[in-house]
């Protein structure tokens, strides 16, 4: 939600875009650090426990803004929401990884990723309407209520006794298995580079559309719906192709496609329709990267699956922190063309990391 409405949040708080961008950087850094402490939880205490912990942290964070809407409560909320999501996602993905054969796992995890695209298609337009009517902080009480509902649902439907996973007692062995594996480290590097390039565009696209075409809240929400449709399409492509092509080949196609979409974006984005088409291509290819990458990572270190997936989250988070840190400065100093160029270079770096993984 913060991405398309970055300038609206900044105006509502009485700060500049760079200040909100710094919050996003801090969010990424905390998200990167948190798996170092919380990564083994789902391996040691179970997948359900990890998911519930993530939901509690998220709900507490958004509840702060619901009670006391200020710049600092928003900063705390974004950081805690990121930590919560980064605890929930590896636990959930490990839960499916324990149960679903590797050759079918790409399809299964693509289905779970539909939640992300539907948040853009449905959630952000609704939040745009609410923000337009009631102010920038209005969505946070809704998120707090939804967090409580999600907790109850996971508590009820996910079994406490898990015959598919044996609890571990030694967290150090999980870290050791990940950090001594060259393919695992290469996989984390792919996550970091691809996410850095994506975050450059994420942070700036709402500002770019507003600066270029004067788009306001409703139009920015509509642009987010287009992005959601592109991500839903990307997930559909993964579901139908990744298991058939093989995860490394699918990931290669995604990285090349996203690099091309990045450099194409400023050229076709000189009209509103062209900009939306460019964003569609950029996000469909990134989603193809993301969802092809996850099932590949689930099998690199099966003995410490949740720890491996949490470290993969660290890679994504470091990349997002780097992209958020660079985005406002590059855009203000050099313009959107350089945003697109550097996003392409990050994809090239991710492709080189993939080649190293395959050699390993």
pLDDT, one tens digit per residue, over 198-218 is 999 888 877 777 777 776 666
Q: Backbone phi, then psi, for 162, in 5-degree steps?
A: -120, 105
Per-residue pLDDT at 168? 67
Please check whether residue 92 is in contact with residue 47, taking contact to mean a CB–CB distance below 8 angstroms: yes
What residues have CB less than 8 Å from 219, skipping those under 6 apart?
209, 213
202-234 burial: b if 16+ Cβ within 10 Å, else e: bbbbbbbbbeeeebebebbbbbbbbbbbbbbbb
Buried b (16+ CB within 10 A) or exposed e, 288-325: bbbbbbbbbbbebbeebbbbbbbbbbbbbbbbbbbbbb
Q: What total of structural domains would you count in the chain?
A: 1
Is 1 within the bounds of a domain?
no
User: 146, 198, 159, 185: which is closest to 324 by C-alpha?
Assistant: 198
User: What pLDDT is recorded for position 177?
Assistant: 83
Model confidence band, residue 167 (pLDDT cutoffs 50, 70, 90): low
Q: What is the DSSP letter of 215?
A: -
State the average pLDDT over residues 16-33: 79
**186/353 Cα distance (integer angstroms):** 5
**Which pLDDT band, with edges at 50, 70 and 90, does 161 fall under?**
confident
Cα 349 to the chain's mean position, in Å? 19
Q: Could you tell me which residue, 15 or 77, shows the higher pLDDT? A: 77
What's the pLDDT band for 138 if we cut at 50, 70, 90?
very high
Rounded average pLDDT over 187-196? 95
> Model confidence at 298, in pLDDT bands (50, 70, 90)?
confident
pLDDT at position 119? 82
Residue 344's pLDDT band, with cuts at 50, 70 and 90, is: very high
User: Residue 110 pLDDT more than 70?
Assistant: yes
More confident residue, 12 or 60: 60
Q: What value does the mean pLDDT take over residues 161-188?
A: 79
Residue 100: give its domain's CATH number.
1.20.1250.20
And the tokens for 141? 């009480």
- More confidently predicted of 165 and 245: 245
Percentage of the chain beyond pLDDT 90 is: 30
Residue 56, domain extent: 6-359
pLDDT value of residue 171: 61
- 11 is a domain residue: yes
**What confidence tens digit (pLDDT) does each residue in 305-327 have?**
878 888 888 888 889 888 988 88
For residue 185, name the pLDDT band (cuts at 50, 70, 90).
very high
Mean per-residue pLDDT over the chain, rounded: 85
For residue 277, pLDDT over 70 is answered with: yes
| More confident position, 174 or 68 | 68
Q: Can you give the pLDDT at residue 310?
A: 81
- With beta carbons less than 8 A apart as the criterion, state whether 185 and 309 touch: no
58, part of any domain:
yes
Say if 28 falls within a structural domain.
yes
Matching residue, tokens 């507490």: 60
Question: What's the distance, CA 176 to chain centroid?
Answer: 26
pLDDT tens-digit readout, 236-267: 887 788 888 888 999 999 999 999 999 998 89
Non-local (6+) Cβ contacts of 198 within 8 A are 258, 286, 319, 320, 323, 343
CB 98 within 8 A of CB 48: no
b/e for 20-59, b at 16 or more Cβ within 10 A? bbbbbbbbbbbbbebbeebbbbbbbbbbbbbbbbbbbbbb
**pLDDT, tens digit, 9 for 90 and up, residues 220-234:** 666 667 777 887 887
Asked whether residue 54 carries a pLDDT value surpassing 90, the answer given is yes
Question: Which of helix, strand or coil describes residue 113?
Answer: coil
Specify if 191 maps to a domain.
yes
Asked if the structure places residue 266 within a domain, the reply is yes
Checking if the pLDDT of 346 tops 80, the result is: yes
Of 139 and 1, more confident: 139
Residue percentage of the chain with pLDDT more than 70: 94
- Domain membership flag for residue 351: yes
């Amino acid at each position: 939600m913060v991405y398309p409405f970055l300038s609206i949040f900044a105006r509502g708080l009485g700060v500049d875009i760079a200040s909100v961008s710094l919050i996003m950087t801090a969010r990424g850094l905390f998200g990167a650090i948190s798996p170092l402490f919380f990564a083994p939880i789902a391996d040691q205490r179970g997948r359900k426990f990890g998911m519930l912990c993530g939901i509690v942290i998220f709900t507490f964070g958004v509840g702060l803004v619901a009670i006391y809407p200020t710049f600092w409560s928003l900063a705390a909320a974004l950081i805690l929401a990121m930590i919560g999501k980064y605890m929930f996602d590896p636990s959930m993905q490990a839960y499916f990884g324990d149960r679903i054969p590797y050759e079918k796992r790409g399809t299964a995890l693509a289905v779970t990723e539909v939640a992300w695209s539907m948040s853009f298609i449905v959630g952000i337009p609704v939040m745009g309407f609410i923000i337009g009517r009631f102010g920038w902080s209005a969505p946070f009480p809704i998120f707090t209520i939804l967090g409580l509902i999600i907790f109850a649902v996971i508590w009820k439907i996910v079994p406490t006794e898990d015959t598919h996973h044996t609890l571990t007692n030694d967290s150090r062995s999980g870290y050791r298995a990940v950090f001594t594996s060259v393919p695992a480290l290469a996989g984390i590097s792919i996550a970091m580079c691809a996410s850095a390039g994506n975050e450059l565009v994420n942070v700036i696209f709402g500002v770019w559309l507003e600066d270029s075409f004067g788009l306001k809240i409703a139009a920015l929400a509509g642009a987010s719906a287009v992005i959601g449709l592109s991500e839903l399409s990307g997930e559909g492509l993964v579901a139908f192709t990744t298991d058939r092509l093989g995860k490394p080949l699918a990931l290669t196609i995604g990285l090349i496609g996203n690099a091309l979409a990045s450099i194409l974006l400023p050229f076709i984005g000189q009209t509103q329709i062209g900009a939306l088409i460019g964003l569609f291509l950029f996000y469909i290819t990134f989603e193809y990267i993301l969802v092809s990458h996850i099932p590949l990572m689930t099998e690199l270190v099966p003995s410490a699956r949740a720890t491996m997936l949490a470290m993969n989250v660290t890679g994504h988070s470091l990349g997002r922190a780097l992209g958020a840190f660079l985005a406002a400065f590059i855009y203000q100093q050099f313009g959107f063309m350089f945003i697109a160029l550097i996003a392409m270079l990050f994809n090239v770096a991710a492709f080189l990391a993939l080649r190293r993984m395959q050699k390993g």
